[in-house]
Structure 1
Amino acid sequence: MTANNTANVSRFERILAFMLLGLVLLSVGTFVAIIVGTWQGMSSSDFAGGIWPGVVMVPYIGLPLAFVLLITLMITSAVKRSRENQRTTTQR
């Protein structure tokens, strides 16, 4: 267990991770804004004007897209580990 096991994170994986984090935070933030707006007495007709239609649509689009990014990040990480494992096995 004294082998040097440094995990190098590629730029692509880092970008995927930050995009995932940003989408989740944005979606949760807009979801909280909708909850607070409803708690303050806004009705469904109040959400039809201004910037609210965009705010309402962000969780519908952002969370599924974040899920797709998560799956993509997991696949790229698994492929990278598999390639590194094959390289390590062939070097022995």
Structure 2
Amino acid sequence: MSPTAREDMPVRRIDRILAFMSIGLLVLSVGCFFAVLISRPAGVTNYSEGLWPAVILLPSFGLPLAFALIVAVLVMSFVRRARANKGR
């Protein structure tokens, strides 16, 4: 990629926000997933108290949402790149 092509495509704020949100949500969901896996050998017997309901449900919603955010960033990037190439 030449330096002039890189200058034509600045990274927008919304792209950065969506990318960091997806990475953060992915890391948090995977962390909660491993916490649930480790909790039973660690001696947790009651999952209906405290933060456990949220920890159990977060990977169910967080992983698909993180995937959707990554897809949104990719689509936005491809559309922006196609518009930039169309103008040349």
TM-score (norm 1): 0.84
Fraction of identical pairs, as percent: 41
Considering only aligned residues, what root-mean-square deviation do their CA atoms show, in Å?
1.6
Ranges in structure 2 where 5+ consecutive residues have no aligned partner:
none
Alignment of 1:41 with 2:48, yes or no, is no
> Is it true that 1:75 corresponds to 2:75 in the alignment?
yes
Q: How many Å separate the matches in 1 of 2:56 and 2:2?
A: 52
Task: List 4+ stretches of structure 1 deviating above 6 A.
Answer: none
1:30-70 residue CA offsets vs partner (Å, 9 max, x unmatched): 11111110222334xx1121110011011011011111111
Which 5+ residue runs of structure 1 have no aligned equivalent?
Answer: none
TM-score (normalizing by structure 2): 0.87
The higher radius of gyration belongs to: 1
Q: Does 1:28 align with 2:30?
A: yes
